[in-house]
Structure 1
Amino acid sequence: MINFQDKVSFIWSIAEILRGPYKPEDYGKIVLPLAVLRRFDCVLESTKGEVLAKAEQFTGMNEDAREPILNRVSKQNFHNTSEYDFNKLLTDSDNIADNLRDYINGFSKVARDIMDHFDFDRQIDKLDQNNLLYLTIKRFSEIDLHPETVSNIEMGYVFEELIRRFNENAEAGDHYTPREVIRLMTHLLFLHDDASVLTKPGLTQTLYDCAAGTGGMGSVAQEYLLSQNPTAHLEFFGQEINPESYAICKADLLIKGEDARNIRLGNTLSNDQFPRDKFDYLISNPPYGVDWKSYEKSIKEEHEKQGFDGRFGPGTPRTSDGQLLFLMHLLSKMKPVTAENPQGSRLAIIMNGSPLFTGDAGSGESEIRKYVLENDLVEGIVALPNDLFYNTGIATYIWILTNNKAPLHKGKVRLVNAVDFSKKMKKSMGSKRNEITEEQISEIVCLYGDAQPNEYVKIFDNEDFGYAKITVERPLRLNFQVNEERLAHVVEEKVFANLATSKKKGDAGHFEIEEGKKLQTQILYVLRTLENDKVYKNRDEFTKVVKDALKQAGITIGSPLLKAILAGLSEKDETADVCMKNKTDIEPDTDLRDTENVPLKENIYDYFAREVLSHVHDAWIDETKTKIGYEIPFTRQFYKYTALRSSAEIMDEIRALEAELAEQLKKVMG
C-alpha cells in the first residue's frame, strides 16, 4: 500500500493548532480547503511568473476569452492571476486576510468554483481574528503537495483519511470506500470474458459514479485500466451531494488535466445531472439505509408517470433505504447493446445485505429484484468480509451487473463467499479492523472469473431465486345461538353501537340518538324471543330465522347491521356447515388464512397437494392473490452445519475445569 500517513500526520498536526476557537469536528472546514489550495499553489508554481506576464498583456480581454490563453501558459486546465502565492502571503502578515482573498479570487472560474463550495471565505476572518490565519498558512507552505511529490492516487488517500478523521462519528451511511475494496471492485468490473476488450490500442471508455465522494473509485479504475493498456483512456464522470467532497473530487480531475465539468453537484436521485448520458462502466458505493422520504414525491412521480421510460420503472423500495434506487439509476445509465456498441455496459455496486432479501412478494424491493433477475442483468454477487469500512462494520456485498452476459453464463448468477478473505490490521482505523491483501484480491477475482462451483462459489439459475407466494384459504365454519352471553357481543359490535350516535347537532342529533336507542331495544327484544338451547350450524338457516323474526316485528335493517348481529351471535365451529358467500363461492376464514412460498421451478399444485392438502383437506388456493417474488438468501447458500458436542464431552470438560479450579483454590488457601 502507498505510504501516505506521513502527509496525513503533518496536515493533522496543522489541524491541532486550531484547538480552542474550533471544535475538532470543524477542523475540516479549514484543513480541507487549504490542502486543496496548497496543491493548486504547488501545481502552478513553476509557471506563475509567465502567467502573470501574459495576463498583463491581455488585461482588457474578457475572462472567458482570456482563460484558454492563460491555461496554455500554466500548462494546466486552470491558472491564477493574483500576485500572491503561499510564500508571498507570508510577507505581509498584517493584511494576510485581504491578500488571501485576492489570491483565491485570482483563480480561473473552475478553480474558484471549487473553493466556493468549501465555503471557506467565512472562515478567513475567524482565523485572522484568532491570530491563526498566518500560522496556518505558514504551516501549509512547509509541505510540498506537487503531483511529482504526492501523486494523485496518494493525494486521494490523504484526503479520504483526513475526511475519515474529521467525521469519525458520521452515521454508517456516510462512509468512504477503502482503496483495496475499490481495487477488488475494479478487477471485477473490468473482468470481461473476452480479455481483448481492454487491450485494444487507443481504447477510450467512460466510467460513471453516482455517489462519487472524493473520486477515489474513478482514480483507482483509471489506474487499473492503464496497467492493462497504457494506450487506454478512461474518462470519469461523477455526481456528489456533499459540497466538500464534490470540491475535492473536482480539484483532483482539474489537476490531472481532465475535464472538471464531468463532476457535478446535486442529489443523484432527485436531481440527475446526467439525464441523457450513457456510460461503458458504472461503479458506486451509495449510502446504506439512508432515508429518502424528503424527496419521495419527485421519485414516485417519475415512477408513476414515466414507468420504464424513466429510472424507476420496476418499483420503489421503502423510504427508509434508498440503495435499490441507486441501483436502478445506474441501470438506466447503461449503454444498450448495439452493432456500434456490442459490449454493452458493466456495473459494480456495493450494498449491504438488505437489498438481497428485504421485502415480500409484490413489494418494491422484490419487484426490483424480479426485474434485474428476469432480465438476466445480475452476473454475480460477492460477499465481503466484515469490518472493512471506516465507519461501519456491517456485512456488505459487491453486485456485478451487465446487459451483455457471455453465452455460457446467460440465465446464471454466481455467488462468491469471500467473507474469510481478509487479514487483521495492525492498527484499526475507526471501524475498519480488517483489510483485503493483494493476494486475496487475486484469489477472489480468480474464484469469480472461473465460476466453478466449490466451497466458495455457488452457481444458480435466475429462477432459483424466484417463488410464487400463494394464499391458502380454508372455509369459514360458524355455529349460531341466541343467549345472553352472545347478545352482549351483539351490543359491543360497532355497527350496532353506532345506532345510538349522531353527527348532527342540537335537537336533531338528540332525536336521532333516541331513535337509535329505541331501535337497539327493539332488536334485542326480538332476538330474545329466539333465545333457547338450540345451536344452528348453518348460517343461511339461522339468517332466515333472524330475518323472519325482525320482519314479523316490523323492523327493517340494512345488510351491515344484519352482519353485525350475526357476528355477535356466532362462534367458530369446525363441525358446522361451510359458510357460503353466494351460491357457488365458499367464504374463507380470515383467521385460518396462510401463505406458502413455492419455488418457481416447482409445480404449484404438486407442492400444494404435498405440503398443504395432506394436512388440511378442505384448503384451496386463492388464485387472485398469487404473487411472484424474488429474494437472494446468500448466507443460507453457504451455511455449514456444525454438529453439537455430546453431553458426555461437555461433562468431561466441566469436570476438568472443576478439578483445575479446585487445585488453584488449594494454592490460594495454602
Structure 2
Amino acid sequence: MPNSDDLIRAVGANIQEKASLIWSAADTLRGPYKPHEYGLVILPMTVIKRFHDCLAPTHDAVIAAAEKYKAFVVKDGFLREASGYPFYNTSKFTFETLKADPENIEDNFKDYINGFSDNVQDILARMNFSDQVERLCDPDAPLLYQLVCDFCKPQADMSPSKITAVDMGYIFENLIQRFSESYDEDAGAHFTSRDIVYLMTDLLIQADPHVFDGDHITKTVYDQTMGTSQMLGCTEERLCQLDADARVTCYGQEFNPFTFGIAKASALIRGEDDTNMRFGDTLSADKFEGFKFDYCISNPPFGDPWNPQATVVEKEFKSAGGGRFPVEKLPAKGDGQMLFVLNGLAKLKDDGVMAIIQDASPLYKGKPGSGEDSIRRYVLENDWLDAIVQLPCDSFYNTGIATYIWIFSKAKAPEHRDRVLLIDASKCFEKRRKGIGDKKNDITKACRDLIVQAYAEYRDGNWEAVGANGQKVCVETRLMETVEFGFNRVTVESPVVDEHGEPILNTRGKMQADKAKTDTEDIPLNQDIDAYIEREVRPYNKHAWVDRKKTKVGYTIPFTRVFYKCAELEPADEIAKRILEHEKTLEKSLEALFGEVR
C-alpha cells in the first residue's frame, strides 16, 4: 500500500487533472446549457461512468446470469454475485457499443440506464437525471452522443485499478466545487483533504484507549455532514493502513441530493451497505435516532444559518431532556456549527470519541448565558473536551481562515480529567509545490506524527522535527485546567456622589447606583469574588459594590492569548540612533532639492 505522503501528494498530481479532463466534457454542453447547469449532467455522467468501469470486467458474467435466472422471481442475489459488487447492470450495452451506434443513441442509452439495479436507479433518480437525458436528446440540439464519446476517452477511465475509492471521492469533490463556482455560489463546505482526515483519524486513535482491543480494529464511524463521504472513506483507508484486516463500518447523513447520490455510489463501489448512507438534514431530520457510534468525524459548515431547521430543533430542545440539544439555550440562528457538536456528542457511545473541525468563533463567541456560551459550558462541565488543535492556515481548498480540530472523549483517560490540551500546530506544515485553490499547505507524515506525539504526551511543551523538504516544523502545547476557562461575570456598581465625592444615600440610608458608571469584571472561577474586588477594584473605587443578582458564569477558550508572545521592544538608544540617521538622510535630500541656501 502506498505510504500516506504519497497519497497526500497524489491529491494534487492526479485528482485535479482527472477532474479537469472530466469537466472538459462540459464544452459539449456549451450553448444549450448555461455554465451553472453543467453539473446537472457532468456529475451523474461521472457516477454512471464510474459504475460502468467497475462493472466492465464482469459484464459478460452478469449478462449470462441474467439469461440463466430470467425465470426467477428473485434473482438479485445471483446478479450481485456475478458482478462482484452490491449492484449490477443487465443491459447488453457498454459505453463502447453505445459509441458504435450513433443513430440509436437515445434508445440504447436509455436501455443501458434502465439496466442498472434498483440501488443505482435510486441514485440517478435523486439527481433527476432522466430529465437531463430528455434534454440531451432534444432533436434541435442533440448532445448525448458526443457526451458519451467524451466519456469514452482513455483519460476518462475510472476503473478501480486506476482510481481508488477515496481518490474518486476527491474527484467528485473537485467537480462539485467547480459546479458551485460556475453558479457563483459558495460550495457549501470546506472540502477536507486527505492529510487533514489522516490527522483527525490518528488523533481519534490516540484518544481511544480501546482501539487495538481484540485481534483487529473494529469500529463504527459516523459523519453527520458527510458530503460525498470522502471523510468516511479516508478514515477507513487510514485505519486499514494501521490494520489490513480492520473492520470499519461507515455511516453518514447528507441533505444535498447530488452529494448524497455520490456518497451512496461510493459506498456501493466500496462494497459497503449503502443503506448506511442516509438522506436528510441532520439537524431537522435525524436519520440515526437511537444509534451510537465509536467515532464521529465531521467538518460541518461554518457560519451557515439554521433558520430553516429552527422549528424542529427548537421543538426537540424543549422536549423532556432536550433530546440531542440538552443545553440551557440554543445558539444564535446565524451560525449552526455548534449544534453539530451537540448532535455528534449525542451519537457517541459512552466511550466514544469525536474529531470535529470548527472555525475560531466557538472558542469565544457569545456572552455568558448565550447559546454559544451554554454549549461551551455543557461540554466543559461534563469534561468531554480533551484537546483543541489549531491547524495551519491555507489548509483547505476553498478557505484560508484559521481552523481548529476539537477532540472530544466521552471517557477521558484518568490523567486527562478536568484538563484540556491546547495544541498550536499553525507552524506544522509543508508547502505544496503547487496549491489547489486556497490549499497551499500539507500536513505530511512528519507533521502529523509530531502533532500526535504532542497530544499523546499531554503536557506543556515544544516539539520540533524536520519535514521531507528539509524545513523545520514545530508544535507548541499548553495544558489547561478546565476551570481556567470559566469565569464569573460580576456587575460592579458605583454610587451617585455629591460635589465632594461622597456617596448620596437614599431614604433608606443606602447608596444609589450611578447607572452611567456600571461596569463588569470577569473573575476566574478559581478566585474568590470578594477577595478579587477588594484587591483589584476598591483601591481605585473605594465605594464600589457587586450586585450579586446579576452575576453570570461564562466560559471562553482564549487560544490566541495563551500562545501570545510579547515581542521585546527595541532599546531606546537604538531607536534614537535610527531616527538620527533618518534625519541625516532627509537633510541631504532637502539640500539636493533646495541647495545650500537652506
Which whole-Å CA distance do the structure 1 matches of 2:36 and 2:394 have between them? 23
Which whole-Å CA distance do the structure 1 matches of 2:195 and 2:589 have between them? 47
Aligned to 1:163: 176
After superposition, the Cα gap between the structure-2 partners of 1:602 and 1:212, relative to the gap in structure 1 and judged at 3 Å, is same
**Helix, strand or coil at the partner of 1:27:** helix
Aligned to 1:531: none
TM-score (norm 2): 0.88
Which whole-Å CA distance do the structure 2 matches of 1:74 and 1:231 have between them? 23
Q: Deviations over 1:92-114 (max 9, x none)?
A: 32332333222222211111111
Aligned to 1:417: 424
Aligned to 1:370: 377
Query: Which of these residues, 628, 632, 636, is aligned with residue 561 of structure 2?
Result: 636
The answer on whether the counterparts of 1:199 and 1:228 sit within 8 Å (CA) in structure 2 is: no
Which whole-Å CA distance do the structure 1 matches of 2:202 and 2:82 have between them? 38
Deviation, 1:312, is 4.0
Aligned to 1:181: 196
The reply to whether residue 110 of structure 1 matches residue 119 of structure 2 is yes
Deviation, 1:410, is 1.0
Which whole-Å CA distance do the structure 2 matches of 1:611 and 1:243 have between them? 58
Which aligned pairs between 1:226-241 and structure 2 lie closer than 5 A? 226-241=240-255
The reply to whether residue 461 of structure 1 matches residue 481 of structure 2 is yes
Q: Deviations over 1:44-69 (max 9, x none)?
A: 2222233233323444554xx33222
Deviation, 1:660, is 11
The reply to whether residue 318 of structure 1 matches residue 335 of structure 2 is no
For the aligned residue pairs, the C-alpha RMSD in angstroms reads: 2.5
Deviation, 1:381, is 0.2
**Helix, strand or coil at the partner of 2:124:** helix
After superposition, the Cα gap between the structure-2 partners of 1:16 and 1:306, relative to the gap in structure 1 and judged at 3 Å, is farther
**Helix, strand or coil at the partner of 1:320:** coil
The reply to whether residue 121 of structure 1 matches residue 130 of structure 2 is yes
**Helix, strand or coil at the partner of 1:328:** helix
More strand by share: 2
The answer on whether the counterparts of 2:489 and 2:553 sit within 8 Å (CA) in structure 1 is: yes
Deviation, 1:131, is 3.0
The reply to whether residue 579 of structure 1 matches residue 586 of structure 2 is no
Deviation, 1:273, is 0.6
Which whole-Å CA distance do the structure 1 matches of 2:549 and 2:358 have between them? 34
Which whole-Å CA distance do the structure 2 matches of 1:22 and 1:661 have between them? 64
The reply to whether residue 648 of structure 1 matches residue 581 of structure 2 is no
The answer on whether the counterparts of 1:378 and 1:401 sit within 8 Å (CA) in structure 2 is: yes
The answer on whether the counterparts of 2:365 and 2:372 sit within 8 Å (CA) in structure 1 is: yes
**Helix, strand or coil at the partner of 1:313:** coil
Which whole-Å CA distance do the structure 1 matches of 2:63 and 2:329 have between them? 56
The reply to whether residue 135 of structure 1 matches residue 146 of structure 2 is yes
Deviation, 1:332, is 0.2
Aligned to 1:623: 548
After superposition, the Cα gap between the structure-2 partners of 1:172 and 1:141, relative to the gap in structure 1 and judged at 3 Å, is closer
**Helix, strand or coil at the partner of 1:290:** coil
Query: Which of these residues, 468, 492, 501, is aligned with residue 472 of structure 1?
Result: 492
The answer on whether the counterparts of 2:177 and 2:187 sit within 8 Å (CA) in structure 1 is: no
Q: Tell me whether 13-22 or 38-47 shows the greater mean CA deviation.
A: 13-22
Which whole-Å CA distance do the structure 2 matches of 1:664 and 1:266 have between them? 75
The reply to whether residue 268 of structure 1 matches residue 288 of structure 2 is no
The answer on whether the counterparts of 2:176 and 2:187 sit within 8 Å (CA) in structure 1 is: no
Which whole-Å CA distance do the structure 1 matches of 2:263 and 2:588 have between them? 62
Whose radius of gyration is greater, 1 or 2?
A: 1
Deviation, 1:290, is 0.3
The reply to whether residue 85 of structure 1 matches residue 99 of structure 2 is no
**Helix, strand or coil at the partner of 2:303:** coil
Which whole-Å CA distance do the structure 2 matches of 1:595 and 1:412 have between them? 27
Q: Deviations over 1:183-205 (max 9, x none)?
A: 111111111474x7326314321
Which aligned pairs between 1:179-328 and structure 2 lie closer than 5 A? 179-192=194-207, 194=209, 197-198=211-212, 200-328=214-342
Aligned to 2:43: 32
Query: Which of these residues, 598, 605, 608, is aligned with residue 523 of structure 2?
Result: 598
Q: Deviations over 1:198-233 (max 9, x none)?
A: 263143210000000111111111111112122211
The reply to whether residue 427 of structure 1 matches residue 434 of structure 2 is yes
After superposition, the Cα gap between the structure-2 partners of 1:388 and 1:101, relative to the gap in structure 1 and judged at 3 Å, is same
2:449 aligned partner, one-letter code: S
Q: Deviations over 1:402-446 (max 9, x none)?
A: 011111111110001011112333333222232222221222221
Which whole-Å CA distance do the structure 1 matches of 2:576 and 2:119 have between them? 75
Which whole-Å CA distance do the structure 2 matches of 1:175 and 1:306 have between them? 35
Which whole-Å CA distance do the structure 1 matches of 2:213 and 2:245 have between them? 9
Which whole-Å CA distance do the structure 1 matches of 2:442 and 2:588 have between them? 39
Deviation, 1:604, is 0.7
The answer on whether the counterparts of 2:260 and 2:279 sit within 8 Å (CA) in structure 1 is: yes
The answer on whether the counterparts of 1:382 and 1:416 sit within 8 Å (CA) in structure 2 is: yes
Aligned to 1:487: none
Aligned to 2:3: none
**Helix, strand or coil at the partner of 2:281:** coil
Aligned to 1:490: none
Deviation, 1:333, is 0.4
After superposition, the Cα gap between the structure-2 partners of 1:573 and 1:101, relative to the gap in structure 1 and judged at 3 Å, is farther
Aligned to 2:445: 438
Q: Deviations over 1:130-158 (max 9, x none)?
A: 23211111121223211122111221222
Deviation, 1:22, is 2.7
Aligned to 1:483: none
1:475 aligned partner, one-letter code: P
Which whole-Å CA distance do the structure 1 matches of 2:591 and 2:24 have between them? 54
Unaligned runs of 5+ in 1: 337-343, 479-571, 666-670
Q: Deviations over 1:320-370 (max 9, x none)?
A: 01110000000000112xxxxxxx101000000000000011111111111
The answer on whether the counterparts of 2:503 and 2:511 sit within 8 Å (CA) in structure 1 is: no
Number of equivalenced pairs: 560
Aligned to 1:72: 81
Unaligned runs of 5+ in 2: 1-8, 463-475, 594-598
After superposition, the Cα gap between the structure-2 partners of 1:370 and 1:60, relative to the gap in structure 1 and judged at 3 Å, is same
Which whole-Å CA distance do the structure 2 matches of 1:67 and 1:663 have between them? 95
**Helix, strand or coil at the partner of 1:626:** strand
Aligned to 1:408: 415
Aligned to 2:20: 9
After superposition, the Cα gap between the structure-2 partners of 1:650 and 1:261, relative to the gap in structure 1 and judged at 3 Å, is farther
The answer on whether the counterparts of 1:475 and 1:579 sit within 8 Å (CA) in structure 2 is: no
2:75 aligned partner, one-letter code: R
Deviation, 1:172, is 7.3
Q: Deviations over 1:359-418 (max 9, x none)?
A: 011111111111111111011000011111122111100000001111111111000101
Which aligned pairs between 1:434-583 and structure 2 lie closer than 5 A? 434-455=441-462, 456-476=476-496, 577-579=504-506, 583=508
Identity of aligned residues (%): 40
Deviation, 1:87, is 1.8
Deviation, 1:159, is 1.7
Which whole-Å CA distance do the structure 2 matches of 1:281 and 1:577 have between them? 62
Aligned to 2:163: 150
2:198 aligned partner, one-letter code: R
